[in-house]
Amino acid sequence: MQKKHSTLSDLFRITTPAAALAISLVAPSSQAEEDMSKPEIKVEKKKDANGKEGVYMYIDGVKVHETDTAKQPLPPVVTPGDKPGAPPSDAVVLFDGTEESFKANWTDTRGGPSKWNVVDGAMESVRRAGYIQSKQKFGSCQLHIEWASPAKVAGNGQGRGNSGVFLMGTYEVQVLDSFENQTYADGQAGALYGRSKPLVNASRKPGEWQSYDIIFHQPRFDKDGKVTRRATFTVLHNGVIIQDHTVLSGGTGWNGPHAASEYKAHANKLPISMQDHGNPVRFRNVWVRELKD
Ligand code: MG
C-alpha cells in the first residue's frame, strides 16, 4: 500500500531537487531571517469527481500549477522589439534618436531645456551643460541604454570618455572609455561607481556603440529614513553580465576623498540622469520598463 503523506516533512521527503528549487525561486527575497529551506506550503486533500483523493499544495495562498486564471493570472503578453535592443511593446521610450524625443523627455537638472546636442540620432554631452535628467520619474526598473565614447581618443584614466547613468538620479553605473584605458577597477565602465567593479571588462573600442541593460531594484527606507532594503543592480554590458545581482552597500556619491557616500532617504520615484563629465559621450535608444518590487 502506498504511504499517505500526512505531514509537511513527509511531503518534503518526496520533493525532487527540481521541485525544491522551483519552490525556493518563488520564495520572497525578504526572508533573510527565515529558514529558506522551509517555504510555507499549505497542503489540502480533496476528492475529485471520481472520488479519488488528491493532494494539493498552496504557496502564498495560490495553488501550485493553478490553471484558473482568475486565481493565478497569466503573465501579460509583451511583443519583443524586432531586433536585439529594440524597445518591447510595453517600454517607455525615453529617446528614439529625434530632437523631438530629446525635448519631450529630457531637461537639465533644474527642469529647464538642456544644452546637450542631438547629433546623428544621439544625445551628446556638452561640457559645462550639466547633467540631463528624464522628465518621467522611475523607481525599480529595467533600463536599456546605448552609449559611445568619442572616436577621437583624448585624455586618459577617468578623463577619457567619462559620463554615467544614474538610476534615480543617485546611483551611478559608470560610463567610461575603458578600452585599453586603465583606471581604478571600481571606476571603470560598468562599475557601480566606488562600490562594485564589473565582473569583466566587456568594452568595445572608442566610438563604437555599446549597450547597458540594467535591472535595478531601488532601496527602501522606513519613516525615519533608515534603509530597510538596499538597492540591487544586475547589469549586462554589450550582452555580457558585469554586475550579478550586486547589492549596493551605500551611495555612489562623494564623501570626502572617496565615492563612499551613505544612503540618504529619497522619494520612491526619481528621474534617470546622465552625467556631463566634460567629455562628448553620446547616448541613444533609451527605454525603460518599470518593475514592481
Ligand atoms: Mg562618471
Q: What is the pLDDT of residues 72-127, one digit of tens each?
A: 999 999 999 999 999 999 999 999 999 999 999 999 999 999 999 999 999 999 99
End-to-end CA distance of the chain: 47
What the block records as the C-alpha cell of 122 is: 544621439
- Model pLDDT, residue 22: 44
Q: Tell me the average pLDDT of the chain.
A: 89
Length of the chain: 293
Q: Residue 189 Cα, ligand 1 centroid: separation in angstroms?
A: 9
Choose among 211, 215, 203: nearest CA to 286: 211
- Model pLDDT, residue 116: 98
Q: What is the pLDDT of residues 242-293, one digit of tens each?
A: 999 999 999 898 888 887 789 999 999 999 999 999 999 999 999 999 999 8
> What is the SS3 assignment for 237?
strand
Q: Residue 88 Cα, ligand 1 centroid: separation in angstroms?
A: 28
Q: Residue 71 Cα, ligand 1 centroid: separation in angstroms?
A: 46
Q: Residue 129 Cα, ligand 1 centroid: separation in angstroms?
A: 15
Q: Residue 68 Cα, ligand 1 centroid: separation in angstroms?
A: 49
Q: Residue 171 Cα, ligand 1 centroid: separation in angstroms?
A: 11
Q: Residue 175 Cα, ligand 1 centroid: separation in angstroms?
A: 6
Choose among 175, 254, 266, 258: nearest CA to 214: 175
What the block records as the C-alpha cell of 81 is: 522589439
Q: Residue 253 Cα, ligand 1 centroid: separation in angstroms?
A: 10
Q: Residue 139 Cα, ligand 1 centroid: separation in angstroms?
A: 21
- For the chain, give the percent of residues with pLDDT over 90: 78
- Most trustworthy range by pLDDT among 17-21, 81-85, 198-202: 198-202
Q: Residue 291 Cα, ligand 1 centroid: separation in angstroms?
A: 25
Q: Residue 166 Cα, ligand 1 centroid: separation in angstroms?
A: 9
Q: Residue 165 Cα, ligand 1 centroid: separation in angstroms?
A: 8
Beta strands in the chain (DSSP E): 41-47, 53-59, 62-63, 92-95, 106-108, 117-119, 122-124, 132-138, 141-148, 163-167, 171-175, 210-217, 220-221, 227-229, 232-237, 240-247, 270-274, 282-290
Q: Residue 38 Cα, ligand 1 centroid: separation in angstroms?
A: 43
Q: What is the pLDDT of residues 134-167, one digit of tens each?
A: 999 999 999 999 999 999 999 999 999 999 999 9
Residue 198 pLDDT level (bands cut at 50, 70, 90): very high
pLDDT of 200 > 90? The answer is yes
- Model pLDDT, residue 49: 86
Q: Residue 228 Cα, ligand 1 centroid: separation in angstroms?
A: 27
Q: Residue 163 Cα, ligand 1 centroid: separation in angstroms?
A: 4
Q: Residue 275 Cα, ligand 1 centroid: separation in angstroms?
A: 6
More confident residue, 241 or 19: 241
- For the chain, give the percent of residues with pLDDT over 70: 88
Q: Residue 283 Cα, ligand 1 centroid: separation in angstroms?
A: 14
Q: Residue 188 Cα, ligand 1 centroid: separation in angstroms?
A: 9
